[in-house]
């Protein structure tokens, strides 16, 4: 089952629309392999490349995907467990600056993505239908657990497309 438009803020529609089909855990598993394989073709030198001044490097894009997946998975966990407090947003540029991703090896970032995704798959597979339909407030917007999981997958796909189109990776 896909999330309904009332299940997420309009700004996330682009990510959810990236996902074709309903088997979100299957899609996340497939992405685990395809994204890891994608980055294995990128050289360490290319990992430090950015297509314009002030744009993130390839490593920073991957670090951003990892950080965002962690934050959104945390939100999903909170709302599945019926958290009533509103959760804060994240300022992506601050996270990237604080991540020091360019000082790391690309293979280590790929390994980290793999570990984060595997841990999140275990979590998401444990959610009941009731938990998937749970709602909470994050970044001042109501969102369901199901929508958060779709957003994670669509967000990763979005950034892989950007790397292909603008970075020539």
What DSSP string describes 29-92? Answer: HHHHHHHHHHHHTS-HHHHT--SSTTSPPHHHHHHHHHHHHHHHHHHHHHHHTT--SPBP---H
pTM, two decimal places: 0.96
Q: What is the pLDDT of residue 154?
A: 98
Q: One digit per residue, pLDDT tens: the chain, 169 residues?
A: 999 999 999 999 999 999 999 999 999 999 999 999 999 999 999 999 999 999 999 999 999 999 999 999 999 999 999 999 999 999 999 999 999 999 999 999 999 999 999 999 999 999 999 999 999 999 999 999 999 999 999 999 999 999 999 999 8
Q: What is the pLDDT of residue 67?
A: 98
Domains (ranges, CATH) in the chain? 5-166 (1.20.120.450)
């Amino acid at each position: 089952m896909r999330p309904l438009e009332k299940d997420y803020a309009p700004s996330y529609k682009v990510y959810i629309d990236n996902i074709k089909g309903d088997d979100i855990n299957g899609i996340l598993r497939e992405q685990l392999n395809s994204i890891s394989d994608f980055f294995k073709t990128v050289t360490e030198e290319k990992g430090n490349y950015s297509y314009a001044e002030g744009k993130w490097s390839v490593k920073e894009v991957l670090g951003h995907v990892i950080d965002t997946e962690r934050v959104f998975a945390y939100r999903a966990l909170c709302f599945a467990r019926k958290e009533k407090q509103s959760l804060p947003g994240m300022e992506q540029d601050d996270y990237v600056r604080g991540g020091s991703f360019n000082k790391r090896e690309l293979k280590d970032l790929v390994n980290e993505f793999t570990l984060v995704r595997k841990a999140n798959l275990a979590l998401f597979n444990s959610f009941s239908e009731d938990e998937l339909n749970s709602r909470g407030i994050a970044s001042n917007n109501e969102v369901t657990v199901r929508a958060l999981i779709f957003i994670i997958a669509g967000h990763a796909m979005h950034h892989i497309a950007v790397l292909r189109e603008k970075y020539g990776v």
